[in-house]
Structures are given as structure tokens and as C-alpha cells.
Amino acid sequence: MKAYLVGGAVRDKLLGLPAGDNDYVVVGETPQAMLDAGFKPVGRDFPVFLHPKTGEEYALARTERKSGRGYRGFVVDSDPSVTLEEDLQRRDFTINAIAQMPDGALIDPYGGARDIEARVLRHVGPAFVEDPLRVLRAARFMARLADLGFTVAPETMALMREMTASGELDALVPERVWQELARVLRSARPSAFLRTLRDCGALRVVLPEVDALYGVPQRAEFHPEIDTGIHIELVCDMAARLAPGNDVVGFAALTHDLGKALTPVEELPKHILHEQRGAAPLRALSERLRVPAEHRDLALLACREHLNVHRLLELRNDTVHDLLARCDAFRKPERIPLLALVCEADKRGRAGLADLDYPQGRELQRLHAAAASVRGADLAGIGLSGPELGEALRKARIAAIAAARR
């Protein structure tokens, strides 16, 4: 059996990055031959098998021919006559089109190793334009590789602009868009994703609510970067730094200021009531992309409450309690540390303020712990029930907050 290590495992090894899963391509075999060798079939759209001992994926070499609109519109051919070079040619970027032989030698017909050395993300061939998902993948790779110095090749960016202008991205299904976005929000530099999509015009197609923030001014004394879109980039990168790999925090960071795009022009650069205005576009975005409820709910809390958390040290004890209650923090205590992280990312995601201390986040968690230590069961012996018990519990928790602040 002629099996070659391909894709991300080869790429990441050449980049010096930690090894991920190993994927192999098999040349000259049939599905029946793989079954006879003990491999377990798992591919639904094309022949992919799991090794009987290692569990690693082995896919038959294949070609793809465009047959319809969108990323699903392909006819797959996995005939044993398909060569390794033909399989590599159907891949998206040259850095992903490198194979490694069992002895370690590379097969690199499209110059992927050279592009890795030059830190360039370049498409393999003209078939790149046939799959709209590749525009998002290019931007996602930039979120992962920008810190290594990668840039998108000019000719690849030109193709991405053509694909966007053609309307091909309209065929992307919400689940795949969210899947790519969630992976971006777990990356080190989500800002590179936003900038790459904006450079090719795709951000206004995929995330129009976010694209609308670019060019919207903010008050320079609070936001030295001024442009709200740039602020969002900084906040997303700060969230990735504070909560690496946490796409729940990342999504809230991305969407917390959507209301600023709806500020009346005559009110700029102030953004009065942007917290309230942001709820509608946030809900629309979440519904369109079918964002998980956990992500949506934290994002809505951050959108509504981030200014209150910033002012936490000035708030009255009862106001702090009511903030916690609006967050449903006594039933869902896990929300509070996440909200604190989003608000810290917002405060430090500003030009020149990345190293700012944010005591409000620590204080929010401390006061929540104090209030949450008072439970309804603690008041069971005072003979109250219903609304009276609820009010007594509120007063006791406010007192606990007051005591913790002394």
C-alpha cells in the first residue's frame, strides 16, 4: 500500500509547530482493498478509512470536479488511477499540498515548502475559486499564522475578491460559517481573520454587523484607536490572550459593541445607549449563524452590562446585586468569571492600554462570591415565603456585598 503523510501534519512539522493528527492519502487502492486490509470506513462523501491499529485517517487519493454552486457542489473521483500529484492539486493552499514519504522525503509539486519558508499563504491552482469556503479558510489560517509573519499572496487575495464579488459566498451554509468562526476565536490572532475578510470584501457578506463597525468613530480620550472596527480587532486579540482557546469569551468580545454601528450620526463620537442598541443585531447574527445558546447568552450579557462592570467600583451595593441578578449569576455562577474576562478584554483592547490593570474583573468575582454565599435555605427559619422571602434574600445578599467592601 502506497500511503503518504499529508496536510497539516507535514505543514506544522515544517513550521516547527506542535504535531496534531496524522492524515494519510493512499494511492492505487480501492475501497474494497482497504476493507480487506482491516480498515474501518468512516467517509460519507468520499472514501476515508481508519487504520485498524492506530485509528489514524487514511483517505483514497481523489480529484474533485465542480458540478454546482457552493462548497458542496463537487463530484468526487477516487479511482485507483488518481495520482498523488492530482490529489495534492485539489487542495486549497500550497502549504497544505505537501506529502511526506515513509522515509521522510517530501513530495512538493506546488512549492509549499518554499512558501512556508517565505511565509506566504498561496492557493494551489485555479480550482481555488470553485469552493467559497476557501475564502474563510484563508482568513482562518491567517488568524493562526499571522504571528509567524505570514501574508496572503497578492494573486490569492485577487481571487478571493473575485469570489466575493461573484456572490459565491452566498452559498455558504450557516453551520460551516460558524464552524470556521469558532475555530478563529480559539486562535491567537482573530484580528487577522477580520482584516483578511475585510481586505477581500467578504466581511460585509459573512459578518455584516461587524463590518459595519469599521469607520465608526469613538471618543479619543477613551478609545485612542478611534475606529470602532479597530477596537473590535484589539478586543478579540486581547480576549484570545486572556482566555486562550475559549470561543465563548471570544464571541462575546467580537460582538459586545455592535450597537455602535447604529448610533445616530449627530451623536457621534459619543455612543449613548449603544449597549441597548446592540442586542438586536447580536440576536440577528446569532440566529443567522445558529450560534450556540451559551455563546449567544454570554454575548448578550456582555453587550448589555460591560459599561456597568467598568463602573463597578462606583456602583451602590444594591446596584451591584441587581447587576448580578440580571446575569442570573446565582443560578449560573460560571457566567461571572467569563463576563469579567470579556469586560477586561474590552478595557484593555484599546491602543496603548494593553497593559492596563483591571481590578473591576477581580472585584466582580469577589462580590459575586460574597453575595452567592447567602442562600435561601439560610433564611428558612424566619417564617417568610414567596415574594417576601425573595426580598429578604435580596437584602441579605446586598448586606453581604456591603460587608465584603468594607
Residue 47 lies in a domain: yes
Mean pLDDT split into 10-residue runs, the chain, 406 residues? 92 90 93 94 85 94 69 72 93 96 95 97 92 95 95 97 94 93 97 98 97 97 96 98 98 98 97 97 98 98 98 97 97 97 98 97 98 82 71 93 95
Q: What is the pLDDT of residue 66?
A: 60
Residue 97 lies in a domain: yes
Residue 206 lies in a domain: no
| Residue 31 belongs to domain spanning | 1-128
Residue 117 lies in a domain: yes
Q: What is the pLDDT of residue 381?
A: 62
* 261 neighbors 232 (Cβ within 8 angstroms): no
* 256 neighbors 278 (Cβ within 8 angstroms): yes
Q: What is the CATH number of the domain that holds 18?
A: 3.30.460.10
Residue 275 lies in a domain: no
pTM over 0.85, yes/no? yes
Q: What is the pLDDT of residue 383?
A: 63
**Phi, psi dihedral angles at 74 (to 5 degrees):** -135, 145
Number of structural domains in the chain: 1
Residue 160 lies in a domain: no
Cα Rg of the chain (Å, integer)? 26
In the three-class reduction of DSSP (H, G, I as helix; E, B as strand; rest coil), residue 189 is classed as coil
Q: How far apart are CA 176 and CA 153, in angstroms?
A: 24
Q: What is the pLDDT of residue 390?
A: 80
What would the DSSP string read from start to end of 332-366? -TTHHHHHHHHHHHHHHSSTT-TT---HHHHHHHH
Q: Residue 376 has which C-alpha cell?
A: 435561601
Q: What is the pLDDT of residue 385?
A: 66
Residue 310 lies in a domain: no
